[in-house]
Each structure stands twice: as C-alpha cells, then as structure tokens.
Structure 1
Amino acid sequence: MGGRGVLLAANLPQLQNLIKRDPQAYKEEFLQQWNHFKSVYQIFQTNPSEQPDHFRELIAFLSQVATCYPTETAEFPSCLSALLLNNYGTLSPETRKALIQNVVLLRNKNVISSVDLLKILFPLLPRAASSSLQSTIRKTILTDIRTANLHTKNHKLNRAVQAMLFSMVEQGMDAPVVGDKGKAKAMNNMIAASASSSDVVRKVGEEAMWAVIVCKELWKKQIWTDAKTVSIIALGCFHPVTKVQSASAHFFLGSEDDNDQPSDEEEEVDVRALHHRREINKKKRSSDKKLQKALNKAKTKKYNKPEPTPNFPALEYIHDPQTFSEKLFLLLTTHDRLYSLAHKILLIQLLSRLLSAHKLCVLPFYTYILPFLSYRQLQIPSILASLAQSVHELTPPDVLEPVIRKLAGEFVNPGVASEVISAGLNSITQICRRQPWAMEEDLLGDLVEYRKSKDKLVIQAARGLLQLYREVNPGMLKKKERGKEGSTKPPKVLPYGHRPSAATGIEGLKLLEDHLAANNTNTGDADSDSEEAWKKWEVGSDSDSSESSDASAGWIDVSSDSEGGGEGVDIEMSDSDDEGEKKEDKERGEDETMEDATEDRPSILATTKILTPADFALLNSLRLKAAKEEAESIGTSRAKRKLAQLEASMKYRHNTTDGGETSFLSEHDILGPQKNKRSKSSHGGDEDLKSTGSIAGGSTITTGKDASKEKKEKYGPHRGGRGHVNKEPGSSTTNREKKRNKPLMMILGSGAVRSKKKASLREKQQRLQGKGKGKGKGKR
C-alpha cells in the first residue's frame, strides 16, 4: 500500500481516475493528498509568497474528487473563497485563474450553491486587472443566473443577487462627485493617482459600474424584467462617478454606451489586429477571403447600427418618478461646472423622457435650458429634440412662452441659414403640437409667413406649423389662413388642464367586420375566439419596447406637412400662395363630401366578439391598405396627408406609452430632410449639419449652394484634360507624359529603342502578346 501510495501521489490524474471508479478503495490515498493541501494552505496563510508549483495541480485534483468525499471536503470551498478574497493581490495570475476555474467547477458539480459562487465572483470583478479574466467572470455570472431562471423564475436566487448588486451601488453614494470636465477631471485623476485614495476611488466606481452592467445584460436577455432591476440602475443615475451615471442613463434611453462591455453575440471586430495577423501569417488565398469577410462584417456592423429605441417599460417601473426627476434636475444644476456638455445633454435627454412618459412638471427645467438655445451651440439638434420631448398637455403654457420666443428670435430670422430657420420652425411645431396654448397669436402670424420663402425646407416647416393650427385651433390664424375646414369646424384644442372624453368607438372597425365576413369567419359568437390568437401576444410586455408588431414591420417613416415637412409629400411651388391654398380648400371639400357619403355603419362586432391583439394588428393593416387605395384613386393632398399620418403613427406605435404625444423624437424630426446628405446616419447628426450648413457647425455657416460648389471643386476634373484628372493646379506633368512627348532624335539612341530593333521574331511575338520581359511595351 505504501509503494502504491507513493506512485499515485506523483501521478494525480491517474489517482483521480481511480478514485472516481472506486472512492472507498482509494480513500487513504485521498486523505494523504487532503492533509498535504491543508499543510500547504497553512504555510500560505503565514507566508503568502510561498506558492509551490504543484499547488494548482493539487487544488484541481481536490475539486474533481470533492463529490466522492463530501464529508472530508466540507471546508474545501471556504478555503478557496478565502484564498481569492483575502489574498487576491498576492496570488500569481496563473493561480488566480486556476482558483476561479475550480470554484466554477465546484458549482457545476453542485458542491456549492449559486449564491455562494456569486458571493465569490462579484467582489472579484472590480479587482480583476486582466480584461480576459473580467470577461470570463462576467460570462460565468450571467450564465449561472440564466441557467437558474431557464425553466422557471428562481425568486430566492434573484432576491439574493439583487440585494448584493444594490449594496454594491449604494456603498459609494457618499463619495465625492467625480466630474468629467477640464480642471475637475484633472483633479480627480490626481486624486485617483494618490496612494491613499486610489483604492477607494477605484472600488467606488468599479463595483457600481459592474453592478449596473450586469443588471443591463440581464434585462437585455429578458432574464430580469422586474422593478427591482430598474431600481438598481435608477440608483446608479445619482452615483458620484460620472461613468456610472452615463451607463445608467443610457439604459433608460435605449442607446449604446461606450463604457459597456460587449455581449457574447456582439463582440467587436478589431480591424487593425486582422491586418496585422494577415501580414505576419503565411500568405494564402483562403486567408485573404477570411480577412475580406471579416472586414465586410465590421463595415456592415458600423453603418447598419440599429436605431436607439426608448426603454419605456423601464421608465414605467421607476418608483416615484416625480421625485426621481426632481433629484435628477438637482444633480444637473448642482454639479453643472463639473460635467461636460455631452454628459449634461445625456441627463437632459433622460429628464425629458421622464417628463414626457409620466406627464410630470419640473418647471425650472425650462429656465435652465434657455441659455443652450442658440444655433451656435454644439449638439443643438439633441437639445431641441429633448426640449420638445419634455412638453406635454399638462405643461403650463406660461412656462413655455419664453422658450418659444427665444427659439423664434434665435433661429427664425433672416440673418441665419435656411437650415437654421427650418430647425427652429420644426422645434416650435413639435412643442405646440404637445401644448398648443404656448403660442402667441401675433408670433404665430409672423412665423407662418415663412411659407412664402424661396427655400423648400423653410416652406415645409412653415406649412407644418400652419397645418397644425388649422387642425387644433384655427381661431389663432388670420381668416384667409384658416382654410375651409378651419373656418367651418370648431377648434379641437381643449382648455389647459382638460383632457378629452373617453373614446366611444374603434376607428375602422367596419373594415375588420367586412374582412372577417368576406373570409367566412364567425363574427357573432364570442366563444369562437381561439386561444391561438392570444399566443405570442403579451399585452404590456417588455418586448413591446424593442420589437414592433407584425403590422408595423417593414414600414417606412413618411412625414407629413403637419409634422414639419416630409419627404413623401410634394410641395407645389407657385408665385401665388393664395391660389395653392384655394386649391387645397377645394380638394378638402371634396374629401369631406366623400367621407360623409361613406360614413361607417353601426357595427355589432365590438359587442359580440372579444378582439385579440392579432385582431387589432389586422385592423391596423386594413386601415393602412384602405388609406393607400384612397390616396391612389383620389390623389388629393388630404388623402396623401392622411396616409402619411397613419404610416407615421403606426411606425412609432411601439415607441409610445399612449400612442400619441409621447412618441420618441429624434434629431431628424427637428432638422427635417437634409439636402446634399453624405452621412449614412439616419438621424441627421453633426456630420449632416456641418455638410449642409446647419446649426451645429459653429459660427461659420455654409449654405447648400456653397457646399455643392466646394464639393465640385474638390472632386471634379481639373485643368489639363484627361491626363490631369484629380491633380492640383500647380503640379507638373508625369514622367510617362514627358516620355511620350519627347522628340524622336533624343530617344533613338536609348536602350529601349535599340533592344526593339535587335529583338528576334519570338521576342516580338511575346511583346505583342503581353508576355516576357517587354510586357506591354510593344502595344499601341
């Protein structure tokens, strides 16, 4: 036995195999290794620098056979936990990785629970210096929680982990505020570099950051979709570290954050590493194909990024949103000098989204945003979109009047570019769409006069404002500007504080009834509703915020005149604007007569059948189809406008909380259609503004005509005809051109001419075929 034990002690893999086959027969050999581990562990506790080479092999052996001797190895997991948590800094990188792998192995063998594993791994996330080790720990945590909630929700585990994450964020709330602007950033970097406070600053920021990242990943994978997860991230919005604030705010806005770790399915492609690997590896055709495939994938991923969608379910889960908004505004104003412009805009966007989603009122916000309203301000499109987003029907009109006057005076005047005027008019239109009483009658009359401008963008924006007040409150317009419908029908706008009465019917329900009757579907029996119609339809689910319904898939956003000018509606340019308005009034009267003739009959479908979400999706598609047929058959501007409004409302239906005024606004809604667009961005970002002379390029504004001229001079043909394309004006001719124009007597003695004279018939044939040494020289 003694000789066998000595031989097996030197070969732990063999002993491991034998123990798994017959644990009782080799218990003595196991106890020898177990006692050896305890002695090495005690030595390590007294002198952490002593780390034998076989220590990792011994730990791996005990982890593999721990299930065979559960009583003897009861304290083994606690020993590994103490080694990682108490002596992490003194361990070598190889030992750290081996300990983490063996702890995970114990969890896979059910030696320890998920809570025990996560209590070990969570504190290691901010302490891990290696990015690969951080990625391994993060993937392990997410995989373990996802596996535990695979078939049913593991509420016990979720509550324990959420409490752990909440404490990680809450511990650093009393730390000093860390800004990201100028001297504040440099000062914080000095504090972080000092030996006394470096550990505190790093621990405060990193622990909270990892807690927010884990919660965001679990929400994105639809593992945690409850209010507790939102509360953890909402607490991160008030963390003193700016990086944590940014990550938390991006979660509610539905946008991407540069500080987030990429998920398993979204690993970033390192283009420079691909080129470097291609240079040092052996040159193969298959390697070139793989490189080109990876580059194409990276390019497609760069230019085809999904549009950010607001996370409305998370906004709805926020506890006491009014207090949350007030605290967020207090944070923004108190530390205004410590935050950069990009971070302040991020907080402004989150605050405006909260005000719109919950119909809240933080009145000092509109006074705070007034100094930002300048066309010379950087990122002004985002600021204007956030301003319009924050307005709703409960916002006091007297608070918005100074904002609209500032927009009109700063953006809508003859001294600025047409793109600036268009953005100002679109911003005012979006604000007045949500609160029509914020507009003054005299100012409205001045703004709608811009519909007589010579610029198409300004005309579209001004007509959008005019059409809005024709529909909601034509009494504020002059009599000749109201149109036929505005002159005959009462205004739709309600007094401030009043809400419309409850709906009495479903629009377009007769279309659904006719469709079901045509398909021989029983519409009168409520018991005929099948459970299949309710499958995959969860009312108010989290997926509604990120995925549109079947009826809205594949639709294209077409703006209308009432929305500030759209690309899908033709603008008729005429010397007499009154003639165009009279024509529209005539068409509108014909449409009203046709609508009165085809008014829906009383439907019994709503009283005899319970409509499923699939029925409502079918109803939306039928309404869209009927609007398209009407627009094609009649062809009036009113029919086209109705179709555009219906398409736009259905496209943004999944981005709204009530299907109306809280729709997600982007920079494109403020800027409108841009001419001479070079950027592939779908929102009209700063690149579009700079290229078209709009409002984010600073004090110098280039109009569209100047931009096209500059483009022609840069990329068009230059002097010299065909041989001088893309050459600078002051450059000389090339050597090839000089040789072609050289006098004949100067080249007769050259070697090239003599070699041609002395060439054999075979060499002449090769030269003519493009082969041999004289390849291409004999061709003319």
Structure 2
Amino acid sequence: MPKSRASRGILLTSNLPQLQNLIKRDPEGYKEEFLTQYNHYLSLLKLQQVSSISSSNSNVTTNSSNVDKSNELFQDLITFISQVSQCYPIETKELPIQFKELLLGNSENGGQNIGNGQTVKGDLRRTVVKNLVMLRNKEIIDSIELLQILLPLLPQVPSALRGMIRHTILTDIKTSNQKTKNHRLNRVVQSLLFGMVESGMNAQVIGDKGKGKNKEKGGEAMWAVMMVKELWKKGVWNDAKTVSIVALAAFHPNTKVQSAALHFFLGSDNEDENETDSDEEEIRNARRGVKKMEHRMEVGKSGRKKDRMLAQMKRETNKKRAKHAAGLGATPNFPALELLHDPQTFGEKLYDNLHKHDKIYSLDHKILIMQLLSRVMGVHKLCVLGFYSYIIKYLTYHQLQVTLILVSLAQSVHELTPPDVLTPVIRKLAQEFVHPGVGAEVIAAGLNAIREVCRRQPWCMEEDLLSDLIDYRKSKDKGVVTASRGLLQLFREVNPGMLKRRERGKAASMGLIGNQVLAYGHSKDAADGIEGLELLEEHFASLRKEEDGDVNMGEENEDEDGKGWENWDVDSDTGSESEGWEDVSSGDEDLDISDSDDEQDRKRDREEKRKLRKSKQKNKRLGKDDEEDSNDEEEDENEDEEMDDGKSVVSVATTAISQDTKKLSLLAQQKILTPADFALLNELRLKAAKELAESGGGSGAKRKLAALEASKRHIDGDESERFLTENEILGPRKKLKSTWEEKMELVQKGREGREKFGSLKGKKQKGTPSSSTNREKARNKPLMMAVHSNKVMQKKKASLRDKQIRLRAAIDKQKKLKH
C-alpha cells in the first residue's frame, strides 16, 4: 500500500541527507519540504542570535545539553541549506549575509566584529566557515565576498580553524590570479590588509626587552603581514602596493609585527611559530610517517603489504616536496626594496624609529633595523647622515654581533656619501679593531670592514692612517695579511696617489701618469661602446661560416637585414600609376656632386681667379706691368696653399672621425641586441677572461674574472650577492672544529654503499663469502708465535699482586654466573 504524502514528509524531516538527494534530482517536486526545513533554519537562526545577545549582556546559565542538541540540529540545517542552495537561488539569496552575521557579528559596523560576543563559537563556527567556502566553490558568492568575511576571522579563531581559513584564502587568491591578474580582487584584498595593519598604528610602543613584556602577538596586523609574505613568496603579488603594506607594518608599535615586516625586506627565514608555513608542516608530518613505518618494519615483521605501503608513502612525500619546491621557485619580478615608494622618507623614518626607541628595543631588533636601513641606503643611494654618528657607539670588538653591525655600516655607504661623515667612522674602526692589543681575527675583521667602506667611498681615508693599515701585510696571521693586501690593492686601483711610491706597484704607477682621480661627486664619462662586443661579432661570424660557408654568408646577411623591408618601394596609394623607377634626364649640364656648399664656393672662386690670372698674362705679353702680375701670382699661390691647408685639416679631422667610427662594432650599428644576445655576450666575456687568467694574464686578469663571476651570480637571480655577508667581513680563517651535525654527515656519507655494521672483508670481496672470528684465528696460529705473543708474555712478567687481582676477579665472576 503506498505511503501518503504526509507520512513521506515526516520521514524526510528526520533524514536530511535523503531529502538533499531527492531535491537535487527534482527541485520543483520537493520545494515544499525544502521550505519547511528552511523555516526551521530561520527560527533556529533567530534563536541563536537572541541567545548570543542575552549571554553577552547577562550571566544567565543555560542547560548545556539542550544547547548542544540545538547546535547540532542547527549545524545539520546549515549544511543542508548550503548543499541545495543552487536549486533555490531566490529563497536562499540572504544566506551569505546570514553566515556573515554569524561569524562577524552585526553588519552595521562595516562587516567588522563589534566585539560584543554576538558571534558563534566552537564547532558551529567551523561548520559555518566550511559551508561558506562551499558556496564559493559553487560560485554562489564571489571571491571578494568570501575574503571580506574570512580575513577578519584570522586573529579570532583557534589554530586548527585558522590553518584552514589561511589555506582557503591563499588558494583562492592564487587561483584567481593564475591565468591573468585579477586586479579588482587584488585591490579589494590589499585594501583590507592595509586596514588591518593601520588599525593598530596608534598604540603605544612596548618594546621587546625582557620576558613577558610583549605578550601580544600583533593581532590583525601580524596576520596581514603573513598573508602578504606568503603571496609574495608564491609570486602571486609582486607590485608596489604589496610592498607599501609591509612598509607600513615596518613602523608598527608591536615589535613582532615590525620584526616580521623587517624580515620580509631582508629576505630572511627567521619567523615566529605562528608564521610556519602549512605546506612545510605537512611535509614534516609526512617525513615522520615514513620514518615510523621504516622503524616498524625493522622491529616487527615485514611483508609485501608493508613494503607497498612504505613505497606509497615515500612517493606521496616526494610529490609534496616537489610541489612545495615549485611554489618556492616562483620568484617575484622585482625585488621589494626597489619598489619602495619614497625611499628617502622611508629611510629617515626607520632611523627616527631606531634612535627614538633605542632604550626599549633589544639588540637583535636594533640590528634588524640597521640591516634594512643600510640596504635601503645602498640601493637607493640615500644620505641619512645621523645613522653614522649613531652606529659609532656600537663599533667595539667586544660588542655582541659586531660582524652584522660592520656589514650594515659598509652596506650603507655609496659614492654619494659625504667623506667628512665617514672619516670619524674609519678612525673609530682603526682605533678599536686594528691594534696589537686584540686578536688576529679582530684585526682582520676591522681591516676588511675599512676596505669595504673605502671601496664605496675612497675619499674617506686619510693618507697617514692608510700607511699604518697597509703595514699589517707583514703580519704572521694569514687573515690579517689577506685583509691588508686587499686594502692595498684597492687603493692601487681607485686612488694610487694616496700610497707611497714604493707601495704603488708597477701597474698603478704607470696608470697614475696622465690620469686624474675623480673627485667626490664627479662621475665617469658616458660609455662610448659595449665592452666585449667584438667577441659577440666574432662568435656570429664563426657560426655563419660553420652553417652556410663563406659563399652563402653574404646572402644570409642580406636576408636577415632585409626582414621587414619587403615591398618597401611599392607605393601605398593604390591609385598611383607609377611602376618601378623613373629615369630623370639631367640635360646638357654636368652634375657636380660636392660634399658641402662651402666647397662649391671655394671651387668657384678658384676658377674665377684662374681666369683673371690668364687675362693678366695676356696683358703682360702686350707690355703691361710685370710687377703687378707677379704679385697677383703670389696671391693666387698663397690662396691655393691656404685651400690646400684647409683641405689637409679637413682630411685629418675626417681621418680621426673615421678611426673613431671603426672602433664601433658593425654589429652595434646594424642590429638591435636582445637580452639573449647580452646573456651570450656575458658568457663570451667570462670565457675570454678565464682563458686570459689561465694563460698568465696576471693579477689584473684574475680580478676581472672574479668581477665577471660575481656579476653572473647576481644576474642569475641570487639577490644575496648584492649585499655583504659576515664571511666577507671575517675573511679567510683557520678551519674550525666540526660540529656534531657535520661529523654525522661525514659518517653517513662514509656508510653509503655498504651494509650496516658489517665488514666487507671475507663477505663480498671473496669468491666464496666467508668470515672468521679472532678466537678462530688464534687457534690456527703456530705454537711458537703464540708462545711469544704479547698476551702470553704479559702473563709471565706479571707481578704477584697483579696475579692475585686477576685471580680474585675471575673468582667473583664465576660466583656471579652461578647465582
């Protein structure tokens, strides 16, 4: 007997998954059942809002069991309504707004949580978030609506839910910008993040000295900086507005937020626990699982099933590592420091922040600010003169992390830094680091720091001080000798006039003749060509000879040069009747093509004077005055000589111009070089420098090779090569004692290719695998050798007391074995 419609509705009311399946198959047939459940959802929603308001305004206690049952039913209804929302878009159009009010509270405050406890907690909040993400996957709401709700939730939810929200936000932004940049979404999200950072800028600066003084984690600003760092790291955002968000966070009152922003610009990985990447955590968990499985197989029984499981776990771990490495490889288009807006103001604010809060910031935090300030000053060539007077008090050899401070000092100097400001700094470095009362490593670090500062601004050095520093090249320590020689070689290149005559060397003395060292503020002349371009031209010529031969080389050049010039002589006007070239008759007159109008005038004057001279010669034969004619001839000869002199001057100038023109490569005149051509040119220059250095080119060739290799590392994308490191300040040192990690790495490397705790002798290095113990070997030893062995001789020579001790030990051992 068929069931009635009422009985069917009763059954469906208690079985939401079944009703959900039926609604997706026939939305119109089950609309009444859906509206019944939707009304039930609305009543529970109002009840939830009323209960949250009453609980926040009073301390009334309610029955926890009833609340839990109501929340479970409410969660089921939320999931049900969200699953079938695409079937009834008109009835559920207010669903995203309702979810937003549940998560953030009243929407009268611009969608932000008003902080009065009117939001859901616990499992109910997780359910609302999951269904909100599902609405985005079904394209019921767009990314902007979703992110406007999820971003303010980050500092409010616990760590488990926070990880899911963070992953959802990053994935959604990355997917939206995968094919093309979604500028509308990026602007909205960046504005939200900017507001999250700006919300706490008016707070009081607490500082990070001591324990427990700065318990706050930064709130919204910290998560805003973390989101920007992740999106920059994955290559999704790489514009100036992204950098401006972190630049604002660099002056946040909370030192944790400020430290995260500083690490972003410095490119370091020193992050807090909350900043751990979820992908890296997932990879670590996968590795732990693999190690646990390997341990179980070693301890317990192993079978084919466990082998397959272990292989599958390893494959999944490798896939995750490869995917994570591919995400890290997406480098941004521009470095963050170069995208700073108004770097001079940014640098001055950094210095003011450092100087103002010097007593409440810890040394580590101050060094972070110093490093960022020095890099900004070096990249943008800023002059923040107060920084050098501030850093002088930290230039002592017993200062903690003094090498980082020296690196910051050297990086902040450039060719536009006033030498008068740097001279006291150089004196302080020499007084504190370079004297006989300190160790050799301290002297080497001081000399290297002085060298790096003088490399950027040579005019800050004094002649007397330079002479004293160069004398340390006679030291017995290798690091000190290398540092002193480096300083000497630097001034041989940049300003040999400051060195004594015997210290300049042959190359510097020869280069000093006729060359003037540029003064402070002066720059070199503009380049008149591309260095090493003839190498590229020779390379192209050799390629043409190899491919086409000498005969076809000219035809290929014509084809390459003629690309884009086809049909250039065709008239663009289709109505024109002219075809090809037209011959124009010159008439009876001879065309005289001259180089300039002045030369034509000169020729005309010469012809007139020659005619005049001929007429005078005629008159002379007729008895005219001979003296007058001779004078005229002398004038003509003088004029001819002047004309010849002018011609010679013009020809000399033309010859000089032609010689200068010959210096320019034909390749630069005929072809526009592409980035690939410049990359090839760098490779050819590096190859030529290597050949010159190997063939005995001297120290100059080696220095040029080192400079080309350094520039190649920078071009290949290693941003760290642009800045100094601690190793460059410390210089070459003796090999330090290996750490435990380094020793274990060597041990593991030596164990590769052999069994664990097993000797290869007698097992794999014989035709028949065999092995024997030392006891077995002693049995087969000849008697005379055994009698005279060390073991037997020691027993014979032992004293009575030693024999008693050995006997007593044997008796005790036997007693222990019996018991």
Cα distance in 2, alignment partners of residues 38 and 52 from structure 1: 13
Aligned with 1:58 (options 55, 67, 77): 77
Aligned CA distance change for structure 1 residues 31 and 616 (closer, same or farther; 3 Å)? same
CA drift at 1:679: 6.3
Matched, 1:94 2:123: yes
Give the corresponding residue for 1:167: 195
CA drift at 1:277: 6.2
Where does 1:11-90 land on structure 2 (aligned, <5 Å)? 11-48=15-52, 50=67, 51-86=70-105
Paired AA for residue 43 in structure 2: S
Aligned with 1:629 (options 691, 701, 704): 691
Cα distance in 2, alignment partners of residues 39 and 749 from structure 1: 85
Aligned CA distance change for structure 1 residues 626 and 433 (closer, same or farther; 3 Å)? same
Give the corresponding residue for 1:245: 258
Matched, 1:645 2:707: yes
Aligned with 1:666 (options 725, 730, 733): 725
CA drift at 1:643: 2.0
Length-normalised TM-score, structure 2: 0.68
Paired AA for residue 672 in structure 1: G
**Which whole-Å deviations, capped at 9, do the CAs of 1:131-180 have from their partners, x for residues lacking one?**
x2111111101111111112211111111111111111111110111210
Paired AA for residue 532 in structure 2: G
Higher mean displacement: 147-156 or 114-123 = 147-156
Where does 1:178-577 land on structure 2 (aligned, <5 Å)? 178-182=206-210, 186-189=212-215, 205-259=218-272, 261-267=275-281, 269=284, 283-284=299-300, 313-490=335-512, 493-520=517-544
Give the corresponding residue for 2:175: 147
CA drift at 1:602: 4.5
**Which whole-Å deviations, capped at 9, do the CAs of 1:59-113 have from their partners, x for residues lacking one?**
1010000010011011111111111112878634221211110000011111112
Cα distance in 2, alignment partners of residues 37 and 321 from structure 1: 55
Cα distance in 2, alignment partners of residues 495 and 369 from structure 1: 26
Give the corresponding residue for 2:806: 742
Higher mean displacement: 30-39 or 604-613 = 604-613
* SS of structure 2 residue aligned to 1:677: coil
Cα distance in 2, alignment partners of residues 107 and 375 from structure 1: 59
Greater relative contact order (CA < 8 Å, ≥ 6 in sequence): 1
Cα distance in 1, alignment partners of residues 468 and 539 from structure 2: 48
* SS of structure 1 residue aligned to 2:335: helix
CA drift at 1:526: 6.6
Give me the CA root mean square deviation.
3.7
**Which whole-Å deviations, capped at 9, do the CAs of 1:240-262 have from their partners, x for residues lacking one?**
00011111111111111312623
Aligned CA distance change for structure 1 residues 280 and 82 (closer, same or farther; 3 Å)? farther
8 Å CA contact retained: 1:250, 1:256: yes
Paired AA for residue 269 in structure 1: R
* SS of structure 2 residue aligned to 1:25: coil
Matched, 1:113 2:127: no
Aligned CA distance change for structure 1 residues 310 and 742 (closer, same or farther; 3 Å)? farther
8 Å CA contact retained: 1:125, 1:207: yes
Aligned CA distance change for structure 1 residues 274 and 258 (closer, same or farther; 3 Å)? farther
Aligned CA distance change for structure 1 residues 422 and 30 (closer, same or farther; 3 Å)? same
Cα distance in 2, alignment partners of residues 108 and 444 from structure 1: 70
Length-normalised TM-score, structure 1: 0.71
8 Å CA contact retained: 2:290, 2:310: no
Cα distance in 2, alignment partners of residues 504 and 620 from structure 1: 18
Higher mean displacement: 519-528 or 251-260 = 519-528
* SS of structure 1 residue aligned to 2:366: helix
**Which whole-Å deviations, capped at 9, do the CAs of 1:316-369 have from their partners, x for residues lacking one?**
111111111111110111111111100000000000000001010000000000
Aligned CA distance change for structure 1 residues 395 and 75 (closer, same or farther; 3 Å)? same
CA drift at 1:674: 2.4
Matched, 1:604 2:663: no
Cα distance in 1, alignment partners of residues 219 and 253 from structure 2: 12
Cα distance in 2, alignment partners of residues 177 and 163 from structure 1: 24
8 Å CA contact retained: 2:232, 2:332: no
Higher relative helix content: 2
Paired AA for residue 487 in structure 1: S
Cα distance in 2, alignment partners of residues 376 and 749 from structure 1: 59
User: Which ranges in structure 2 are unaligned for 5 or more consecutive residues?
Assistant: 53-61, 106-115, 323-327, 548-555, 565-661, 741-801
Aligned CA distance change for structure 1 residues 409 and 271 (closer, same or farther; 3 Å)? farther
Paired AA for residue 367 in structure 2: I
Cα distance in 1, alignment partners of residues 45 and 333 from structure 2: 50
Aligned CA distance change for structure 1 residues 665 and 493 (closer, same or farther; 3 Å)? farther
Paired AA for residue 241 in structure 1: N
8 Å CA contact retained: 2:238, 2:333: no
CA drift at 1:739: 12
Paired AA for residue 157 in structure 2: A
8 Å CA contact retained: 1:652, 1:664: no
Cα distance in 2, alignment partners of residues 310 and 94 from structure 1: 39
**Which whole-Å deviations, capped at 9, do the CAs of 1:483-521 have from their partners, x for residues lacking one?**
112112135742111122221111111111111111118
Cα distance in 1, alignment partners of residues 804 and 314 from structure 2: 42
8 Å CA contact retained: 2:163, 2:278: no
CA drift at 1:743: 3.4
User: Which ranges in structure 1 are unaligned for 5 or more consecutive residues?
Assistant: 190-200, 531-599, 682-737, 756-780
Larger radius of gyration: 2
* SS of structure 1 residue aligned to 2:519: coil
Give the corresponding residue for 1:706: none
CA drift at 1:648: 2.4
CA drift at 1:653: 4.1
Give the corresponding residue for 2:154: 125
How many aligned residue pairs are there? Answer: 604
Where does 1:712-723 land on structure 2 (aligned, <5 Å)? none
8 Å CA contact retained: 2:249, 2:258: yes
Paired AA for residue 473 in structure 1: N
Where does 1:663-702 land on structure 2 (aligned, <5 Å)? 663-678=722-737
Cα distance in 1, alignment partners of residues 490 and 37 from structure 2: 83
Cα distance in 1, alignment partners of residues 332 and 94 from structure 2: 49
**Which whole-Å deviations, capped at 9, do the CAs of 1:298-326 have from their partners, x for residues lacking one?**
xx99xxxx99x999621111111111111
8 Å CA contact retained: 1:254, 1:311: no
Cα distance in 2, alignment partners of residues 749 and 464 from structure 1: 70
Aligned CA distance change for structure 1 residues 610 and 680 (closer, same or farther; 3 Å)? farther
Cα distance in 1, alignment partners of residues 347 and 452 from structure 2: 22
CA drift at 1:279: 12
8 Å CA contact retained: 2:82, 2:134: yes
* SS of structure 2 residue aligned to 1:110: coil
CA drift at 1:655: 6.8
Cα distance in 2, alignment partners of residues 313 and 462 from structure 1: 34
